[in-house]
Amino acid sequence: MQTNNRRQLVAGNWKMNGDKTLVKQMQQSLAEASLDNMDVVICPPFPYLELFANTVKLGSQNISQFDSGAHTGEVSVAMLKEFNCHYVIVGHSERRADNNESDAVVALKVEQGLKANLTPILCVGEPEDVRENGTLFDYIAAQLDAVLQQVGIQQFAKMVLAYEPIWAIGTGKTASPTQAQEVHAFIRGYLAKQDTNIAANIVILYGGSVKGSNAQELFSQADVDGGLIGGASLNPEDFLSICQAANQ
């Protein structure tokens, strides 16, 4: 097996949740924790980024694919850089569904993030019917292909991936560790066809109903390098227990 330098990463995606009080509580909990063997990222809604300044590594939940201009309601990579953002979630299934973000738009957003030296956390994942009809791997491959064609395999060295099966998001129905590992191994193997070193080193997160009680088993799978956490990232105690599972 190829050696790698992967470090576990846990990213909290607050989605459209949280308030100033939660920012303070989360800052306090993370400040008191000792998490030396892993990385933590918080992706709060845009207005709260500034409040976290210099206390945690930050990610945004979205970016515009454009540099600037007449795009009402959008936020540019340059603005996020001013607020010390290091990561950006791209292609979350909720944005693909709510905002009609196609694979092509997702690929442009990844490119835009990379151009600004932000680390895209590219999300892929299938709806339940795709898993049931046996086309799971084709579906994931097509999502990866759109980005591979846009930016090329070399850029994947500067990215993080997240496998988030749509049927497991916010449902309490977690993928089993075996199901997660199977898809993570597929993703790594798919990238390895183009570059074995990049494939061996890319961090692949699992997302979908991760909790303190299931994190350790999921994160101990060979190709699972941490998690992208929704609901449980809104409770400092739960989030900390997930981070501790990754810290071991």
Q: Which residues bind ligand 13P (CB under 6 A)?
A: 13, 92, 164, 169-170, 207-210, 228-232
Q: Which residue, 170 or 189, has its beta carbon nearer to ligand 13P?
A: 170
Listed residue (232, 246, 238) closest to 14, CA to CA: 232
Distance, in Å, from the CA atom of 73 to the CA atom of 124, rounded to the nearest integer, reads 25
Cα(242)–Cα(67) distance, integer angstroms: 36
Q: Closest-CB residue for ligand 13P?
A: 230
In terms of CB distance, is 85 or 229 closer to ligand 13P? 229
59 versus 144: smaller Cβ distance to ligand 13P: 59
Minimum CB distance to ligand 13P, residue 225 (Å): 15
In three-state secondary structure terms, 205 is strand
DSSP state string for 160-181: EEEE--GGGTTSS-PPPHHHHH
Annotated catalytic residue within 92, 94, 101, 126? 92
Per the annotation, the verdict on 86 as an active-site residue is: no
Q: Of 156 and 206, which CB lies nearer to ligand 13P in the complex structure?
A: 206
Output the smallest distance, CB 81 to ligand 13P, in A: 22
Q: What gap in Å lies between CA 228 and CA 42, rounded to an integer?
A: 10
Q: What is the closest distance, in whole angstroms, from the C-beta atom of residue 122 to ligand 13P in the complex? A: 12
**In the complex, minimum distance from the CB of residue 162 to ligand 13P, in angstroms, rounded to a whole number:** 7
Gap between the Cα atoms of 12 and 230, Å rounded: 6
Q: Name every residue whose Cβ is closer than 8 Å to that of residue 48 and which is 6 or more positions away in sequence.
A: 14, 18, 20, 23
203 in Cβ contact with 163 (< 8 Å): no
Q: Is 92 a catalytic residue?
A: yes
Max Cα-Cα span within the chain: 50
Least distance in Å: CB of 154 to ligand 13P?
26
d(CA 86, CA 59): 6
Catalytic residue (one of 132, 164, 182, 217) = 164
Specify the residue, 36 or 98, whose C-beta has the smaller distance to ligand 13P. Answer: 98
Distance between CA atoms of 89 and 209, rounded to whole angstroms?
Answer: 17
Residues annotated as catalytic (active site), given as ranges: 92, 164
